Amino acid sequence: MSSETPNDSATTTHALDLTRMKPGRGQMIAVVVSALILAVVLKPATRNTYLELAGETLFVGMVALLAFNAAGAWRQNWIPVWAARLLAVTLGGMLAPLIVQLLTVGGDISAFLNSRSLVGGYWMVATNAIIFGVLFALGALFRERDAQARAQALQFALERETLKRQAADAQLRLLTAQIEPHFLLNTLANVQELIESGSPKAVPVFRSLIAYLRAAMPQLRQGDATLGDEEKLVRSYLELMLMRMPDRLSYELQIDPALRPLRFPAMSLLTLVENAIRHGIDPALAGGSIVIGAAGSGVGTLHLWVADTGVGMSDKAAPGLGLSNLESRLKAFFGDSARLELSEVAPHGLRADLFLEQVARGE
DSSP 53-102: HHHHHHHHHHHHHHHHHHHHHB--SSS-HHHHHHHHHHHHHHHHHHHHHH
pLDDT of 343 above 80: yes
What is the pTM (predicted TM-score) of this model? 0.49
- Residue 112, classed as helix, strand or coil, is helix
pLDDT of 8 above 50: no
Q: Among positive and negative, which fits the CA dihedral 245, 354, 227, 299?
A: positive
Higher pLDDT, 53 or 284: 284
The pLDDT tens digits of the residues spanning 252-265 come to 999 999 999 988 88
Domain for residue 135, yes or no?
A: yes
pLDDT, position 43: 73
Residue 257 per-residue DSSP state: G
Q: Are residues 248 and 150 in the same domain?
A: no
pLDDT of 155 above 70: yes
Separation between Cα atoms, residue 130 and residue 138, nearest integer Å? 12
pLDDT-derived band at 176, boundaries 50, 70, 90: low
How many domains does the chain fold into?
A: 2
Average pLDDT over residues 220-249: 81
Structural domain span for residue 65: 6-158
Domain for residue 167, yes or no?
A: no
Q: Are residues 350 and 289 in the same domain?
A: yes
Domain for residue 168, yes or no?
A: no
Q: Are residues 224 and 153 in the same domain?
A: no
Q: Are residues 346 and 286 in the same domain?
A: yes
Environment class of 47 (CB within 10 Å of its CB; exposed 0-12, middle 13-18, buried 19+) = exposed
pLDDT, position 165: 67
Q: Where a domain ends, among 98, 129, 158?
A: 158
Spell out the residues 6+ positions from residue 225 whose beta carbon is closer than 8 angstroms to its own: 219, 263, 264, 265, 266, 362
Among residues 136, 50, 48, which one has the least CA distance to residue 92?
Answer: 136
- Residue 217, classed as helix, strand or coil, is helix
Range in 60-64, 191-195, 296-300, 318-322 the model is least confident about: 318-322
Geometric angle at alpha carbon 221, from 218 and 226, rounded to 5°: 85
Average pLDDT of the chain to the nearest whole number: 76
Length of the chain: 363
pLDDT-derived band at 355, boundaries 50, 70, 90: very high
Q: State the virtual CA torsion across 189, 195, 198, 199 in degrees, nearest 10.
A: 70
